[in-house]
Amino acid sequence: MPRRLARMLPCLEWARQYNRDWAVKDGLAAVIVTLMLIPQSLAYAMLAGLPPVMGLYASILPLIAYTLFGTSRTLAVGPAAVIALLTASVLGPLFAAGSAEYAAAALLLALLSGGVLLAMALLRLGFLANFLSHPVISGFMSASAILITLGQLKHILGIQASGENALQLIPSLLQHLPDTHVPTLAIGASTLLFLHLTRTRLAGWLKARGMNAARASLLARTGPVVALLLAIGVVWAFDLAATGVKVVGAVPQGFPALSLPALDPSLALDLLPAAVLISLIGFVESVSVAQTFAAKRRQRIEPNQELVGLGSANLAAAFSGGMPVTGGLSRTVVSFEAGAQTPAAGALTALGIALTVMFFTPLFYHLPTAVLAATIIVAILTLLDIKAIGRTWRYSRQDGAAMVATMAGVLLVHVEFGVLLGVALSLLLFLWRTSQPHIAVVGQLPGSEHFRNVERFAVVESPKVLSIRVDESLYFPNARYLEDRIAELAGQHPQAEHLVLMCPGVNLIDASALESLEAISARLHASGIQLHLSEVKGPVMDQLKRSHFLEHFGGQVFISQFEALATLDPSTTERATRLKRNGQALAAQPSGNEEVS
């Protein structure tokens, strides 16, 4: 088997060893995940503002695509809450809810998202996900959980309410609160209670009654599907739909025709930023889940191939009437605990959903939307992590600020705005942090050939030669700071004739820093000081040789700072080297664990 093909189709690797034992385990896991996925996919489609059946469609072909192209053995792909929220927040302001244009735009969004992910794979742009720093993701998740819960309350209460942020949703909910529909609220509240109890208590209760722990935990996971069936039964038996309890209604039976989503170029351009955001957030979440579970079995995932897996899953969703998808945490946990061995479990889950679409959709006619809303709320509130704010703030003010800004933006303005605000703030703070690298004046440690910070050690300084060490690569965030600092230090040493820049910590000098070095050299010249370099690393030296800097700057490049001083001021250097190593000169000895240079 050619190596390239094996990389492109990771399924070939496990498919060759596939056996009956794996098939049984994968099959069992698939049954349980299917039972979980039915309510989830209906609910997340509703959350995205789409007909519930689109959630089911998004749980068939996309799962098969990931089975073929993904590298995680356990990741469960499909509709997910935050992706559904992003979809709704993008499409809500553009189209009427429930309209054909809205649904068509969701397909286009899935198509774009798939395209973006595959383009990132092709161009090796997975590093773009780094823009979403952890505080931003965490803040986004918590704020989304609050926003989604606020948005679903109307279904629980059986009222109208709208708004794309908390400032709009809360007043709207309060305004319509008097219209609360009691039978709906009864169903919604009891479902919430039931789901909460099955999630938190059922497994323990079953274990106390002698069931083994793994089976009890899996059984507890089927709570939502049980709630769904119970609610359908109750609504049907008492014909509650006639009293005004909102139900899902007619769900088309059978498969959607495979079709190309309508490609409106100007709409595509409008949706592209949102598609990029959906892709990045989906990718970050998915890879982090996949990596966690791969580690449990000492398996490996390949991030770049994951882009292919998720990208093809989204394309499959776009072509089969689905919605944007990604790898989700909750179903992956269940699949793993149920013993799934290979991605074939995903394909078998797809089979389960396909059977549901073929035979069971009429069942959902009497399913109350309040039950779906309760399913969403109980699932999403696990993402809410308020304590993370304090924890992050204590650890680092900058990271805490980025997290709070993201949350505030998502809650008070708009989901995308919040994420962009957080990313922008992360970048700004990052730039601020790296724009002032540690720059030390160094002197010779008596009795040695070493050079150390004059502020920390009693060292010998040459009156003629100013030695400066930079502890950072030189690039555009700090190029101008370097100019400022060196001008300042040169001004403080009016007798200096030479300035040696010691570069052991410089891994890169970019074009901005090169320009700054040229400016520094010229300005030092103008004030009668010659610039030199020392301890320049090989790759940096190679790059400098591709410019004219070394020919023009007039100074030398020394192998070591000692050699530089021995050449430029031999008398001081000889005197310092002869001094006793442990004599009176070594006054300031740094203590144990501190930075010792």
Q: Which of residues 424-463 bind a second copy (CB under 8 A)?
A: 426-428, 430-433, 435-436, 438
Nearest to 356 by CA among 424, 254, 219: 254
Question: Which segment (15-23, 239-247, 398-406, 444-452) binds a second copy by CB under 8 A?
Answer: 398-406
Question: In the range 578-597, which residues lie near a second copy by CB under 8 A?
Answer: 592-595
Residue type, 183: P
20 touching a second copy, by CB under 8 A? no
Question: In the range 509-568, which residues lie near a second copy by CB under 8 A?
Answer: 510-512, 514-516, 519, 522-524, 526-527, 536-539, 541, 543, 546-548, 559
Nearer CB in complex with a second copy: 369/478: 478
466 touching a second copy, by CB under 8 A? no
Q: Which of 128, 189, 206, 441 binds a second copy (CB under 8 A)?
A: 128
| Element spanning 534, H or E | strand 530-534
Give CA separation, 415 vs 50, 92, 267, 305, 520, in Å.
18, 12, 20, 28, 45
394 touching a second copy, by CB under 8 A? yes
Nearer CB in complex with a second copy: 259/492: 492
Q: Which of 480, 550, 575, 586 binds a second copy (CB under 8 A)?
A: 480
Nearest to 328 by CA among 284, 285, 292, 293: 285
Question: Which segment (44-52, 66-74, 388-396, 405-413) binds a second copy by CB under 8 A?
Answer: 388-396
14 touching a second copy, by CB under 8 A? no
CA 127 vs. chain centroid, Å, equals 11
Q: Hey, is 94 helix, strand or coil?
A: coil
Helix residue ranges, H only, 158-181? 166-176
CB proximity list for 430: less than 8 A, separation 6 or greater: none
Least Å from the CB of residue 440 to a second copy: 13
Q: Which of 483, 497, 556, 566 binds a second copy (CB under 8 A)?
A: 483
Question: In the range 265-294, which residues lie near a second copy by CB under 8 A?
Answer: 284, 287-288, 291-292, 294
Nearer CB in complex with a second copy: 150/399: 399
Question: In the range 298-317, which residues lie near a second copy by CB under 8 A?
Answer: 298, 300, 303
CB 261 within 8 A of CB 102: no
Nearer CB in complex with a second copy: 7/176: 7
Least Å from the CB of residue 391 to a second copy: 7
Enter the tokens of residue 257: 């025709």
Output helix, strand, coil percentages for the chain, rounded to the nearest 5.
65, 5, 30
Distance CA 251, CA 447 (A): 86
Q: Which of 244, 491, 554, 570 binds a second copy (CB under 8 A)?
A: 491
477 touching a second copy, by CB under 8 A? yes
375 touching a second copy, by CB under 8 A? no
Q: Which of 18, 255, 365, 481 binds a second copy (CB under 8 A)?
A: 481
**Phi and psi based region of residue 443 (left: phi greater than 0; alpha: psi -120 to 50; beta: remaining):** beta
Give CA separation, 476 vs 46, 129, 170, 386, in Å.
47, 22, 45, 36
Least Å from the CB of residue 596 to a second copy: 9
Q: How many CA atoms lie within 13 A of 78 on its CB side?
A: 31
Question: In the range 135-154, which residues lie near a second copy by CB under 8 A?
Answer: 135
- Residues 253-284 as b/e (b if ≥16 CB within 10 A, e otherwise) read eeebeeeebeeeeebbeebeebbbbbbbbbbb
Q: Which of 17, 21, 100, 127 binds a second copy (CB under 8 A)?
A: 127
Enter the tokens of residue 398: 């900058």
CA 233 vs. chain centroid, Å, equals 41
Mask 233-272, x = binds a second copy (CB under 8 A)? ----------------------------------------
Distance CA 91, CA 82 (A): 14
Question: Which segment (123-131, 239-247, 338-346, 441-449) binds a second copy by CB under 8 A?
Answer: 123-131
Q: Which of 28, 360, 476, 567 binds a second copy (CB under 8 A)?
A: 476
Q: Using CB under 8 A, count the residues that bind a second copy.
A: 84
N-terminal to C-terminal alpha carbon distance within the chain? 54
Nearer CB in complex with a second copy: 264/449: 449
Q: Which of 75, 108, 110, 479 binds a second copy (CB under 8 A)?
A: 479
